[in-house]
Amino acid sequence: MSTAWSPLVADAIDQVEALMAQSLSSQVPLLHHAAGLVVSAGGKRLRPTVLLLSQRAVGGGDVPFAVRLAAAVEMVHTASLVHDDINDRSDLRRGQPAVRTRWGDAAALLVGDFVFVRLLGLVAEAGVEAIQLLAQACGALVEGETLQLLSTWDASLTAERYLEIIGQKTAVLLATCAELGALTAGAAIDERKALHAYGYHLGLAYQIRDDTLDLIGDRERMGKPNASDLDQGLLSLPALHALRMRPELASCVRERNPEPLKAAIRETGGVEEATTAARVQAEAAAAALAPLPPSAARDELERLARWAAERER
């Protein structure tokens, strides 16, 4: 049975699942087993869903083409999570032991590489434009992750800079998913731009909420560890708000002591501040869809944006 987020694209999501599994077969049992596990382990399929709904929202088009691209973007995302768990020293992903927990960091590096490399076969015939969009998104992903690494324990980080970093790390790929959907439908440039903007704001809402859930979320429900970002010096909106209200806590950041900051987040309403910011981005995403004709797919995209800001997992 399909676990698709939207019934409109449930069949296509099933095809995405099958295509990913097929693309990740290998003669090397470790790669075959580990890559198979990570793609089948309960991801939300947010990126394929955005791509497929975007195609429908601008009139539909070549569904098999969109399915291939949807599998490719989900594989970019999955590969990046396998690598991210190495960087974050995280033991749990999607409710399962992370690849690094089962097989170690060195093997996890290779499994991530394998998932990433195999998507090239999927996009080989996608055309120059789609490949260029995908290449730019992958570049932004790695750049964003690198900027985040360089900003750990940085008491001078601002909310604006944080939004730029998560924009690169998360929002560009979602913007690209929406734009690729439009591309596969042969949409006009203003519709492509509208969907790109939608995906970007959706990505910001999603990541602001993700970083907030890291502070308040439930480990079981989230399927990944929580309260780990601050311990690693990653400052997101709740912490940046607390720092703005209590500038004297900058010294704790420099001394790598997150505990006073955790208390200050509670006392200054940092979580509420971040929740509002996520909602602002969700509304901006919904507003970006205005140039598109009314349709069930457009309604689903709107619903998805609001869910991104409110979700509990």
Residues that bind ligand FPP (CB under 6 A): 76, 79-80, 83-84, 87-88, 90, 112, 116, 138, 141-142, 145, 169-170, 210, 214, 224
Q: Considering only 66-74, 80-88, 169-177, 258-266, which stretch makes contact with Mg ion by CB under 5 A?
A: 80-88
Contact call for residue 299 and Mg ion (CB under 5 A): no
Give the closest residue to 69 by CA, choosing from 24, 15, 111.
15
Q: What is the nearest approach in angstroms of ligand FPP to the Cβ of residue 41?
A: 13
> 154 to 193, contacts with Mg ion by CB under 5 A?
none
Give CA 154 to chain center in angstroms.
23
Which residues are CB-neighbours of 251 under 8 A, at least 6 positions away? 155
Q: Considering only 58-66, 76-84, 266-274, 304-312, which stretch makes contact with Mg ion by CB under 5 A?
A: 76-84
Q: What is the nearest approach in angstroms of Mg ion to the Cβ of residue 90?
A: 6
Which residue's Cβ lies closest to Mg ion?
88
3-state DSSP call for residue 126?
A: coil
Six token digits for residue 78: 């999955």
Question: Is the Cβ of residue 84 or residue 283 nearer to Mg ion in the bound state?
Answer: 84
Question: Is the Cβ of residue 47 or residue 262 nearer to ligand FPP in the bound state?
Answer: 47
Alpha carbon distances (Å) from 295 to 80, 92, 271: 33, 38, 34
Among residues 84, 91, 105, 113, the one that binds Mg ion under rule CB under 5 A? 84
Partner from Mg ion, ligand FPP, none contacting 47, C-beta within 5 to 8 A by type: none
Question: Is the Cβ of residue 55 or residue 236 nearer to ligand FPP in the bound state?
Answer: 236
Determine the Cα–Cα distance for residues 269 and 275; give it in Å rounded to an integer. Answer: 10
Contact call for residue 302 and Mg ion (CB under 5 A): no
Six token digits for residue 4: 């698709």
Q: What is the nearest approach in angstroms of Mg ion to the Cβ of residue 88?
A: 4
Which residues are CB-neighbours of 195 under 8 A, at least 6 positions away? 54, 57, 58, 178, 179, 181, 182, 187, 288, 289, 292
Alpha carbon distances (Å) from 43 to 106, 254, 278, 301: 23, 36, 21, 18
Question: Is the Cβ of residue 241 or residue 298 nearer to ligand FPP in the bound state?
Answer: 241
Partner from ligand FPP, Mg ion, none contacting 76, C-beta within 5 to 8 A by type: ligand FPP
Partner from ligand FPP, Mg ion, none contacting 142, C-beta within 5 to 8 A by type: ligand FPP
Contact call for residue 14 and Mg ion (CB under 5 A): no
Give the closest residue to 123 by CA, choosing from 165, 33, 189, 184.
184
Question: Is the Cβ of residue 79 or residue 185 nearer to ligand FPP in the bound state?
Answer: 79
The DSSP 8-state label assigned to residue 168 in this structure reads I
Give 144's Cβ-side CA count (13 Å radius): 24
- Look at strands 92-93 and 96-97 and give their pairing: antiparallel
Q: How many CB atoms lie within 10 A of CB 185?
A: 23
Question: Is the Cβ of residue 14 or residue 84 nearer to ligand FPP in the bound state?
Answer: 84
Contact call for residue 88 and Mg ion (CB under 5 A): yes
Q: What is the nearest approach in angstroms of ligand FPP to the Cβ of residue 20?
A: 15
Which residues of this protein are in contact with Mg ion, per CB under 5 A?
84, 88
